[in-house]
Structure 1
Amino acid sequence: MKGAFADNERIFSQHVQNHLLPDHTYSVVSGGDPLSIPDLTWEQLRQFHATYYHPSNARFFTYGSFPLEQHLKQIHEEALSKFQRVEPHTAVPAQKPWAEPREFQIACAPDPLAQGSSGQTTVSVSFLLPDITDTFEAFTLNLLSSLLISGPNSPFYKALIESGLGTDFSPDIGYNGCTREAYFSVGLQGIAEKDVQTVRDIVDRTLDDVIENGFEDDRIEALLHKIEIQMKHQSVSFGLALTSYVASCWNHDGDPVELLQLGSQVARFRTCLEENPKFLQEKVKQYFKNNQHKLTLSMKPDDMYSEKQMQLEAEKLKQKVNSLSLEDKQQIYKKGLELQAQQSQPQDASCLPALKVSDIEPRIPFTEVEVALAAGDTPIQYCAQPTNGVVYFRAFSSLNTLPEELRPYVPLFCNVLTKLGCGGLDYRELAQQVELKTGGLAAAPHVLPDDAHLDTYEQGVLFSSFCLDRNLPDMMRLWSDIFNDPCLEEEGHFRVLVKMAAQELSNGVPDAGHLYAAIRAGRTLAPAGDLQETFGGMDQVALMKRVAEETEAGPALRKLQRIQAHVLSCDSLRCSVNATPQQMSRAQDAVESFLQSLSRSKKERKPACPHVVEKSAPEASGGRSGVTRRLVTDPTFRPCQMKTHFLLPFPVNYVAECVRTAPYAAPDHASLKILARLMTAKFLHAEIREKGGAYGGGARLSYGGIFTLYSYRDPRSTETLQSFLRAVDWARSGWFTQQDIDEAKLSVFSAVDAPVAPSDKGLDRFLYGLSDEVKQAHREQLFAVRHEDLVDVSNRYLGAGRSTHGVALLGPDNASIARDPSWIIR
């Protein structure tokens, strides 16, 4: 929990809930406040578990095409029949409404990536809403919340975000239906402390304006269109998404079936609007304007916050130790030795149901695609799939001609490209059309390793979108306008977007610190590593913070305009379409029309990279050649070791060590992939999480051949690096059984054979040039991995001095690292 509360957004959201619902279970931290956890006794924990982690307090959810009767029989035989029914008394009472609004102020740690603390205050206004078991009222208020805050056309975006007072909306903004009674929050972060009252006044004025003027019909239709397309979009996690969607309402004795009947909810909503045009305005007046159960929470940074938390923790520990008798201490020591011994014993997994490797299908189902050329020589991959009336479009544009000094700005270019307007549309009109006609337009930089060579990769921007088949021409017209006439001159909204993007990146570091550490640790191991750090590492976070703090937007916009010339043309572009067979002909016409509208360079640009090679994907299943990838290779590259410590005022660490190994197509890659799962399950989990106290840790192998050992929210740092060394020694020694290997293979195959949504079929071929034949060969290599193969790759790649290693650490000051000249301190 200390790691969770290293995140200021998490602290703020937790206090909103605790203060808005103070009379019962929501007034406390469900996972335990770090300073309160030491007060928990073993008996309290045991009794809590026996009472609430009990079948009498459970909801059972199954999803799929399996016979329900068998599931019910198994649930009864293996769970319900083994327990006596108890009454856990888990019903949450209604929160007593307030007679008048309340205010609170809390403290947090300063943002370590910001300059100064003058603009780091957060404030929000929250309102208690009705019980979530009233499913139609909950549906209405959820939709109303989206109308109030979503996108640049929403009232609160215009009033708060575009005011320039802050950097982004406050955490936990909008409708929250996870508690018995829902609540709505809105506010700003990144403001000056003096502007707290100004933000509160803006919230009140905006609500008054909505009550007076209501919402435009097109905005309501856009949200209803969003619901329609979400109902048709097929996700591989559809069953889990349903579970998550119904859980809160069902746990509070609401009707989950009624909750899932979105079609009838939409129809009833439309009827209410037709019968009463001021239906939504009256809801705003009822639940916001006239609601006295209103909380204003502000949070400001305290330079001594971390030190104060450490002092409170030290005092708590001292108090606990001083209260112990000599006998207590001896007992604790004895229990500690018993725990250590138990953690070191292999666990008996024989009671768990398990597949066998022989149960796994030996061959993968092949996906048929066809590739055709359009607009001259632009390849388009067509993949016919049962997409439920939705068309999915992607385009990949190479960055090989882009000058080196512009590359750090590619993520910013992608972030703002679809949000600044295009053609004859300003940014508000574009946002409205995107919501009315598509499921969203997105652009993102990608670094795609080659399957055969560690020092070869492809760099580019992936554009993606989807829409209902009836809206395909409109979606492609939007892309045509974005490619041909993007608005990259409008400084006002650009500055708003930059501040929001920088704030989101900064806020995301505590949640994804292990990923940032891994990107940095792999930076010097392969040529693609440095570009990955540039696009998505700590260097990108720091750059965005600098750009957000610049007083002039012109220099950054001029860089984006230069990037435009290299990315938004038919040069080095390839496309893909996934749609139903019946829609494919229409989709082909729409995409070809889009390509014909694009410009081409009058003269061929020279690549900015020294060595560019073209590589065609293997022949597609439909009999035509695959798309061509334009790969970058650097024969002069030499990997080198680097150790970096990012000093951040977190109470925990994020540690990563990366090793250069083998590419996807090499037989060793399969052995290393099995080894990563084996080391995670049989060594690293016990050492790093169970013994070391980290929230998580393990090993993984990237498609590009970088083997990563990592820990997440870790109270240790250099000690964890020693655990990594012991993990390698363990693997080299071969201290694992055939059953251990089989379990690791099952774990790997669970990922390899994970369901693929119709929208993503053929995507590996389109992006990476991976044919089904290559994936089948890799599958056979996974099956063939033996004990001696695992020991062999452990020795050849992971052993000291065998391969180049990189290390990175995000976390607090460390005296031993500070004294070590081999570390770079950032």
Structure 2
Amino acid sequence: MQIQELTTYRIIEDKKIDDINSKGYILEHIKSGARVSVISNEDKNKVFYIGFKTPPKDETGVPHIIEHTVLCGSAKFPVKDPFVELVKGSLNTFLNAMTYPEKTVYPVASCNDKDFQNLMDVYLDAVFNPNIYKYKEIFKQEGWHYELEDKDSSLKINGVVYNEMKGAYSSPEEVLQEEISKALFPDNAYGKDSGGNPEHIPELTYEDYLDFHRKYYHPVNSYIYLYGDMDVVEKLDWLDKEYLSKYDRIVVDSEIEKQPEFDGIKDIVKEYSIASDEDTKDKAYLSYSKVIDDVLDTKLYHAFDVLDYCLISAPGAPVKKALIDAKIGKDISSSYDDGILQPTFTICAKNANECDKERFVQIIDETLRKVVKEGINKEAILASINSSEFRFREADFGQFPKGLLYGLQMLDSWLYDDTKPFLHLECLDTYKFLKSQIGTDYYEKLIEKYLLSKKNGAVITLKPVAGLNSKYEKEQEEKLAKIKSQMSEQEIEDLVKETKHLKQYQEEPSSKEDLEKIPMLKRTDISPNAMPFKNEKVVVEDVPVIYHDYETNGIDYVDFMFDTTDFTSQELQTLGLLKALLSFVDTKEYKYSDLSNQISIYTGGINFSVSSVTKLTDYEPLIYINARIRALHENIDKGLSLLWEILLNTDFSDKTRIKELIAQTTTRLKNSLSSSGNVAAALRAMSYVSKYGYYSDLVVGIEFYRFISDIDKNFDEKIDTVIEDVRKVLVKAISKNRLTISYTGNKDLFEDTKKTISKYICQCPVGSKAGKALPVEFEQKNEAFMDASQIHYVARVGSFKKHGYDYTGLLRILKVILSYDYLWINVRVKGGAYGCSGSFQKTGEVMFTSYRDPNLSATNDIYERIPDYVRNFDVDDRDMTKYVIGTFNSLDAPLYPEALGLRSFVAYLVGETQERIQEERNVILNATQEDIRKLADMLEAVLKENNICVIGNEVTIKKEKDLFNNVETL
């Protein structure tokens, strides 16, 4: 049967989408009014989503809470957490849900046909028939609830979304973004935080929450998407019979009204919190934002990406340079939000002085007028367009299935105009148009119209206040104490009972009967064979070149890895700084702004990184600086000439430019350490026991932050020494004797590229050979780093190698069990943290972390009980099979060509073998419950090491300081 023969659907549009090699259909389900999109092609990584328009009317976070709660059980699948059951027991390549400013989307993806069908079924039943009407406990757990352990305890508020958003609002960037949205969109949904403001989340009632679901979660308000290689007719027929046919078309008012134009630019001052003992000097955020017309104008949609690069994002871009030269802020950034009906464009100065607001606005205005008068750099325009076109053609989105990215991009037009669903998937003609406008006044007119003349705008100053969050917490405690004091004895007794009841509900496992309703694959559905590595070693000019034979559609991926294992700690930290400078300062032939344009015109990017891995042959570290280039094959020679210009001819004499880059790096790293505190805390704790952790922390973690922030604070005193050190480590690192090259591409491309690579190897200095790593003296520091956050990131680590245990594939299963069972239930469900995980490395490292966690010592106590849980691990064969299958969704995840090449190259570097990963796979496929229980002694030994590091709330850390040897402000 063909789609055209389905009588339950009406075909609205049917077209070939050449830009993504697909056939596209837009259908309407006749009875329910549901919109359905089909993108048909040969991609085995199939994608489905159902999305709804969900414009918020306030800041209680109801769209976000519904996104969490509908995945907590449904009519057909009444288990408490079907989402987690799917994570544990499916081969999904993507499984999540996302709340946007005015839409909520529920996507899944899988390469396995049976698994894909199962995922669709669970998600559709979740959104249309959730158990939220049956169990108020779901709303309390995921949204918010009052918590009172006993009549003498303090009254608290808890809830997963509540704590998630407390973490979000601890970030000044998040606070600024919400203030920008409020200022620009006072009269429509975009002015309300769909995620929820923690101050207002407790205002949401259970009844209003249910009413929101009743109103918006109907097929007529839905957007359903199917992508990839599948029997589309079968899927559409099933969708009709199982779900859509049960609904009649109704009218749902979910339209997003456009924000009318203002009379003038708004000027707003707000506050954000820094730590109590932190200096407020030069910690302000200044932002300048404008509303950019309409997302349905595809030329404008892409043109502002170009302007973003040309005006601010590119190194040396005029607006950024003017602000930096005027010493306004240490980091200038911009954002173009094109995922809403009226896109916004923002210029932001971070770590600025609030007194500079007038100059900030004046410099932006004057610089934009100068650009309009004198014209935009033509090379910068071409660089931006070429870079965007390269990414579009490459279609490499990392861990995201490309079908999902296409589907989400469709919503940028489909959500606002049913007649333009494919608007933003057909980009190539737009890129041609944008290139044709180079040399005209097209771009200058856009600046004039939208950035200079348009009234819909706002200037926001975000002022730092030391200890503001601590003050807020104290006020919250007083407010809750007052609420409790006004409660009768009976009300207090009832709340204690409700608190206990919720915990009992959370502790009560789903019944075996309900669990078996979740569809699941069998072990025999898993391929018995491990994914092969593709490593062919050849020698070019005495340098090993590792070739990975993958089809890359005419793109060359080349890595130049220089072994720096024998560098001192000081040299390695300087190497981390060097990475931040390379390609961003002048070279012999290019000014840094021109260099950036050349890179974007001729390549898909040149990137530098400093990394540490551990060899499986002797468990010694391999530390290296890597230069990676991606380019169309016809441009690889030019691309390599640019790379070699950077490596051999970088000029470090411009102290002003280096000062800018150090300030920018320091600012971004500080924000990263706070927002990704789970990673930073784990790396720091690992530095107490592991060479991998020690070196990683040294070049990308807290120790590197200390190093670079010290240079930032004492720049004039240190800069001459720093420049000399940077020059020395670059000369020492760029040595032919330290070089190993990785190439990913097909055979024909490689034979040609080898000749080009040979030419550049000959230009590489012979230099010194790499030696062994210097000895490391470990110290159990057990640190806590205080910041202005309202939550915590709690890390416990250790090493099983230290206690004589070997790696086994069983640890991959244990990671799934702990991350989505024991830790999930105790740290997330009961504790209220947004995230938690366990991790085991082949080289011995063990890590347990929490993310946006309201608790500290309570989470540490949960980690302590892991060995007992594992020792008493007792599940039936079906559950054991579920954990085994869930282990393979990461092992067998489909990878893009670049990632396949990198996987093989890392295996070569560390000495991983096909035999070892096949043995690991065999162990996983045949694992039993008893095998898991045998891991308890190892876990007990690891946790007895008692290595802990925490980043987070200063009030809690001070209260629980006895856990630590050292407490300091981050």
Calculate the TM-score normalised by the size of structure 1: 0.91
Deviations 1:233-266 (A, max 9, x none): 1425312222332333322236231211001212
CA contact (8 A) 1:101 1:293 kept: yes
CA contact (8 A) 1:518 1:658 kept: yes
Task: Answer yes or no: is 1:504 the counterpart of 2:643.
Answer: no
| Secondary structure of 1:188 counterpart | strand
Q: CA 1:402–1:659 in 2, change beyond 3 Å: closer, same or farther?
A: closer
From 128, 133, 136, give the equivalent of 2:299: 136
Query: Offset at 1:810?
Result: 1.1
User: Any residues of structure 2 matched to 1:289-438 within 5 Å, and which?
Assistant: 289-318=452-481, 320-321=483-484, 324-347=487-510, 348-376=514-542, 378-438=543-603
Opposite residue 407 of structure 1, the aligned amino acid is L
CA contact (8 A) 1:728 1:794 kept: yes
C-alpha distance in 2 between matches for 1:88 and 1:422? 60
Aligned to 1:585: 751
| Secondary structure of 2:689 counterpart | coil
Query: Offset at 1:86?
Result: 3.9
Task: Answer yes or no: is 1:745 the counterpart of 2:911.
Answer: no
Aligned to 1:767: 906
Deviations 1:119-174 (A, max 9, x none): 1111111111112123233222332233222212422122123433211125xx23
| Secondary structure of 1:697 counterpart | strand
C-alpha distance in 2 between matches for 1:638 and 1:495? 33
CA contact (8 A) 2:308 2:336 kept: yes
Q: CA 1:823–1:291 in 2, change beyond 3 Å: closer, same or farther?
A: closer
Q: CA 1:681–1:651 in 2, change beyond 3 Å: closer, same or farther?
A: same
Query: Offset at 1:820?
Result: 5.2
Query: Offset at 1:353?
Result: 2.7
User: Any residues of structure 2 matched to 1:110-149 within 5 Å, and which?
Assistant: 110=274, 116-149=279-312
Opposite residue 698 of structure 2, the aligned amino acid is T
| Secondary structure of 2:459 counterpart | strand
Deviations 1:648-669 (A, max 9, x none): 2321111011121259x98643
Task: Answer yes or no: is 1:607 the counterpart of 2:607.
Answer: no
Aligned to 1:221: 382
From 156, 160, 171, give the equivalent of 2:323: 160
Q: What are the ranges of 5 or more consecutive residues in structure 2 without an aligned counterpart? A: 1-164
CA contact (8 A) 2:291 2:342 kept: yes
Aligned to 1:615: none
Deviates more, 1:498-507 or 1:158-167: 158-167
Task: Give the RMSD, CA atoms, in angstroms.
Answer: 2.4
| Secondary structure of 2:820 counterpart | helix
Aligned to 1:266: 431
Opposite residue 823 of structure 2, the aligned amino acid is L
- Aligned sequence identity (%): 21
Task: Answer yes or no: is 1:650 the counterpart of 2:789.
Answer: yes
Query: Offset at 1:111?
Result: 6.4
Query: Offset at 1:763?
Result: 2.2
Query: Offset at 1:110?
Result: 2.5
CA contact (8 A) 2:170 2:789 kept: yes
Aligned to 2:99: none
C-alpha distance in 2 between matches for 1:670 and 1:819? 37
C-alpha distance in 2 between matches for 1:606 and 1:62? 52
Task: Answer yes or no: is 1:807 the counterpart of 2:968.
Answer: no
C-alpha distance in 2 between matches for 1:749 and 1:790? 17
Deviations 1:296-348 (A, max 9, x none): 10111112411332244234424544564555444433332222112112233
Aligned to 1:798: 939
Deviates more, 1:188-197 or 1:316-325: 316-325
Query: Offset at 1:80?
Result: 2.0
From 846, 856, 868, give the equivalent of 1:707: 846
CA contact (8 A) 1:420 1:494 kept: yes
Q: CA 1:605–1:151 in 2, change beyond 3 Å: closer, same or farther?
A: same
C-alpha distance in 2 between matches for 1:221 and 1:606? 41
| Secondary structure of 1:130 counterpart | coil
C-alpha distance in 2 between matches for 1:193 and 1:523? 38
C-alpha distance in 2 between matches for 1:824 and 1:104? 36
Task: Answer yes or no: is 1:239 the counterpart of 2:403.
Answer: yes
Q: What are the ranges of 5 or more consecutive residues in structure 1 without an aligned counterpart? A: 611-633
Aligned to 1:817: 960
Opposite residue 580 of structure 2, the aligned amino acid is N
Q: CA 1:333–1:75 in 2, change beyond 3 Å: closer, same or farther?
A: farther
Query: Offset at 1:541?
Result: 1.8
C-alpha distance in 1 between matches for 2:659 and 2:242? 58
Query: Offset at 1:690?
Result: 1.0
C-alpha distance in 1 between matches for 2:849 and 2:242? 36
C-alpha distance in 2 between matches for 1:673 and 1:112? 42
Task: Answer yes or no: is 1:784 the counterpart of 2:933.
Answer: no
C-alpha distance in 2 between matches for 1:382 and 1:821? 48
Deviations 1:622-656 (A, max 9, x none): xxxxxxxxxxxx6xx78775422112232111101
| Secondary structure of 1:799 counterpart | helix
Calculate the TM-score normalised by the size of structure 2: 0.78
CA contact (8 A) 1:225 1:436 kept: yes
Q: CA 1:72–1:51 in 2, change beyond 3 Å: closer, same or farther?
A: same
Deviates more, 1:753-762 or 1:262-271: 262-271
Q: CA 1:234–1:293 in 2, change beyond 3 Å: closer, same or farther?
A: closer
Query: Offset at 1:54?
Result: 3.8
C-alpha distance in 2 between matches for 1:63 and 1:772? 33
From 425, 443, 448, give the equivalent of 1:280: 443
Query: Offset at 1:580?
Result: 2.8
Aligned to 1:529: 693
C-alpha distance in 2 between matches for 1:557 and 1:761? 37
Opposite residue 505 of structure 2, the aligned amino acid is Q
Opposite residue 598 of structure 2, the aligned amino acid is Q
C-alpha distance in 2 between matches for 1:234 and 1:451? 33
CA contact (8 A) 1:404 1:608 kept: no
C-alpha distance in 2 between matches for 1:178 and 1:325? 49
Aligned to 1:686: 825
Aligned length: 790
Deviations 1:168-192 (A, max 9, x none): 125xx23211222111111311112
Deviates more, 1:492-501 or 1:103-112: 103-112
C-alpha distance in 1 between matches for 2:866 and 2:964? 25
C-alpha distance in 2 between matches for 1:317 and 1:413? 51
From 228, 231, 243, give the equivalent of 1:64: 228
Deviations 1:361-416 (A, max 9, x none): 0003434432111122x100122322112111101111133233222222111111
Aligned to 2:137: none
CA contact (8 A) 1:502 1:541 kept: yes
Deviations 1:579-622 (A, max 9, x none): 23332222111111111110112xx5573635xxxxxxxxxxxx
Task: Answer yes or no: is 1:202 the counterpart of 2:345.
Answer: no
CA contact (8 A) 1:100 1:292 kept: yes
C-alpha distance in 1 between matches for 2:693 and 2:308? 41
C-alpha distance in 1 between matches for 2:964 and 2:320? 48
C-alpha distance in 2 between matches for 1:820 and 1:525? 18
C-alpha distance in 1 between matches for 2:732 and 2:763? 16
C-alpha distance in 2 between matches for 1:317 and 1:56? 42
C-alpha distance in 2 between matches for 1:773 and 1:749? 18
C-alpha distance in 1 between matches for 2:240 and 2:485? 49
C-alpha distance in 1 between matches for 2:438 and 2:583? 31
Deviates more, 1:555-564 or 1:147-156: 147-156
C-alpha distance in 2 between matches for 1:782 and 1:539? 37
Deviates more, 1:571-580 or 1:56-65: 56-65
C-alpha distance in 2 between matches for 1:815 and 1:722? 18
CA contact (8 A) 1:660 1:805 kept: no
Q: CA 1:822–1:148 in 2, change beyond 3 Å: closer, same or farther?
A: closer
User: Any residues of structure 2 matched to 1:436-455 within 5 Å, and which?
Assistant: 436-453=601-618, 455=619
Deviations 1:701-757 (A, max 9, x none): 234321211111111100111111223211112233333332222222100101121
